[in-house]
Structure 1
Amino acid sequence: MKKLTSLILTCVMTLSLTACGGGGTSTSTPDVPGELSGSGGGNDQETITLKLSDCHSPTATNHLAMQRIAEEVATQTNGRIQIEVYPSSQLGDVKPSMEAIQMNTLDMAISNQAVLGTVIPELAVLGAPFMFETDDHIANALNGELGEKLNELAQEKGITIACYLPTGFRHVFSTVPVRTIDDFKSIKIRTMENPLDMATFNALGAIATPMGYNELFTAMQQNTVNAGENALSNIATDGFTEVAKYVTLTGHFYNVCPVLISQSAIDKIPEDLRDTFFQACRDGAEAGRQMCMEANEAAIEELEAAGLEIIEIDRESLKEATASLYGEFADSLPQEMLDMVAAAEK
């Protein structure tokens, strides 16, 4: 796998990031001016440094996309705002990081539909089965009325969504082949701890087994579960080529990583830079999205080269089996938002 590296913070400091294989070990960082608290009225020469918690490994495409956001922010603010990206959950896993955002004890964090959906149920619209048909469809929705509405709901919970990073359709990878919907009956699949995710795979006939993503490799290795699901590039970069033999192109969910920012972090940013900062986050996320799309395309060849079989499946049969979930989860899939999704496809 081609490894990309990216250095940020070249103007005012040197940042050393060390991946934490054990999870939860802190990174030693120098004192930085941006950690001074304030209401955003500092002088023009002050450098504001924000720390971003990322659950992904340093080589993951999602992490590289976070670095791309940091680079864009540094460029568009002429170095006045710097984002330090901490991979491998060094500042906490996804749920604790979201809670720290709410408590204003962390500046920024990458999240996902499952975790953020526990406080914003309507976020389920991003992860509903077979909701989106193309990459452009979801990008249009997030850049339009749907994205604005979800951010309004997040702000009511003490969270601001700085930008959205769509990273691609999720597909099933497994130790046994899944060629038709009937094959799901022999599958025990790891899912995120999200009722809609679990209900989706149960509706397909599988046994949904919620567990932490960091437990999945060992669980497949020990045959506790025999399948997982993720975007293609993550399947390739996260080491699952060592335990999986098949990838079935289900495209059941679309993976979106909202990037969160706390109110205390916003308050650190001078008012004259806030619009620039949020636009830079969106621009960086768009560049990161393109990076993810390219990585997903390249991952097909990488997975095949690693010996995995790529399986096409009848997606219409999967859609039909999960269609009833839209009624069962109507409270978190309000018609207003479904209409916003439909409008974004035009």
Structure 2
Amino acid sequence: MILKKLLAALMATAMVVGMTACSSSDSSTTTTESTTTTTTTEAATTEAHDYAADEDKTGETVFKLSFNQTLENPEAMAMLDMSDDLYVATEGRYSIEVYPSEQLGAQQQSMELVQSGAIEMAIVANSIIETVNSEFAIIGTPYVYDNIEHQEVVFNSGVLDDLFASTAANGFQVLSAYSLGARNLYGTSPMTTTEELSGQKIRVMQSDTMVQMLNEMGGVGVAMGQGDVYSAIQNGTLDGGENNIITYVDLLQYEVAPCYSESNHLLIPDELIINSTVLASMSEADQAALMQCAKDSMPVMFDYAEDLRAEYYAMADELGFTIYEVDITPFQENLADFIAEVAGRSEQSQAIYDAIRELA
């Protein structure tokens, strides 16, 4: 089964790459966060190559899921498994089609399509959800998690259930959360200390919170869509960026920014969302099955990501980038007031922060 999924994923991705190669020569066209796109839902539905995990397990109702990276990404692979599980759990009533590589739009657009009901599901970054519900800022705050293991415990603990359900008023509900790993600083030179980071123009996600985070760390935060980062570093507009090792390697950022400094400053979640009306239209039994499948998908995704991170770290010499260890204490000290400010924005944020720290 795993081999079948991998082969199908590779074939689908190859077709997507062939399509995108005709439209752009920029080596960083696949994105991790929201970027501008002109793809329409109608065009994507008729032209894009979707993939529903196991073709023998296509449900009577098929949810379209928008994803901004390739099918080899750990989050996409977890969705393929989840589709099969959902088909079985609902006795063939439901399954999921994954539309990768922004075929249905970038993350901001995908969230809006889910809100409107144009598509049923999407995986979007926490910073995107934060734009409609500011309470989500606390689970994307720097150094709120001690490490990836701590984050996985939090995601599986149930302490975020009320937060995830709170977006129903915005037209969608969060089903589960994932993480590709710690985000680290990378650039044309090492940034292992606050002094080395000082004055460095570092790309961050398009969020005021992320700009403030980087500034507090000691650098200069520059909000920018991921699709522009490679060329911006190449031409000197940026000195570097910050991201997890998987995205850093997948987007070939190491070619222009070969110094990867393990600041481990952020473990920002990606969330699986579903349209509220679609969820409410399911029977109680099928809703429960979907919720359980989403919960079960989290450890699967974390395992996929752990394996891929290890593979990419082992490829550093081969790919030509250098990994630098970092004493994170000075960065944590610089961010202490910022972390306290985000946690103190509301009673709910403070309660979530306290619950996360209690699980450390």
TM tier relative to shorter chain: 0.7 to 0.9
1:146-172 deviations in whole A, cap 9, x for unaligned?
321211322232221121112211111
Q: Counterpart in 1 of 2:323?
A: 310
**Does residue 221 of structure 1 match 2:234?**
yes
**Does residue 116 of structure 1 match 2:129?**
yes
Shift of 1:285: 2.8
**Does residue 28 of structure 1 match 2:46?**
yes
* CA distance in structure 2 between the aligned counterparts of 1:241 and 1:227, rounded to whole angstroms: 10
Alignment of 1:7-22 (within 5 A): 7=8, 18-19=16-17, 21=20, 22=23
CA contact (8 A) 1:217 1:243 kept: yes
Q: What SS class does the counterpart of residue 106 from structure 1 fall into?
A: coil
Find the partner of 2:306 among 283, 286, 293.
293
Structure 2 CA distance for partners of 1:270 and 1:48, relative to 1, 3 Å: farther
Q: Counterpart in 2 of 1:136?
A: 149
Q: What SS class does the counterpart of residue 146 from structure 2 fall into?
A: coil
Q: Counterpart in 2 of 1:335?
A: 350
Alignment of 1:187-206 (within 5 A): 187-206=200-219
The TM-score with structure 1 as length reference comes to: 0.85
Q: Give the letter aligned to residue 220 of structure 1.
A: I
* CA distance in structure 2 between the aligned counterparts of 1:342 and 1:265, rounded to whole angstroms: 34
Shift of 1:88: 1.1
Alignment of 1:150-299 (within 5 A): 150-267=163-280, 269-299=282-312
* CA distance in structure 2 between the aligned counterparts of 1:343 and 1:296, rounded to whole angstroms: 27
Query: May I ask how many residue pairs the two structures share in their alignment?
Result: 325
1:54-96 deviations in whole A, cap 9, x for unaligned?
0113343333333333333234334431111011111111111
The list of structure 1 runs, each at least 4 consecutive aligned residues, that deviate by more than 4 angstroms after superposition, is: none
1:126-150 deviations in whole A, cap 9, x for unaligned?
2111111122211222222432121
Structure 2 CA distance for partners of 1:6 and 1:122, relative to 1, 3 Å: farther
* CA distance in structure 1 between the aligned counterparts of 2:77 and 2:233, rounded to whole angstroms: 26
* CA distance in structure 2 between the aligned counterparts of 1:164 and 1:250, rounded to whole angstroms: 22
> Structure 2 stretches of 5 or more lacking a match?
24-36, 53-57
Shift of 1:316: 0.6
* CA distance in structure 1 between the aligned counterparts of 2:91 and 2:256, rounded to whole angstroms: 45
* CA distance in structure 1 between the aligned counterparts of 2:80 and 2:7, rounded to whole angstroms: 7
* CA distance in structure 1 between the aligned counterparts of 2:218 and 2:183, rounded to whole angstroms: 18
More helix by share: 2
Identity across aligned pairs (percent)?
A: 22
Shift of 1:48: 1.0
Q: Counterpart in 1 of 2:34?
A: none
CA contact (8 A) 2:175 2:291 kept: yes
Structure 2 CA distance for partners of 1:279 and 1:6, relative to 1, 3 Å: farther
Alignment of 1:38-49 (within 5 A): 47-49=60-62
**Does residue 87 of structure 1 match 2:100?**
yes
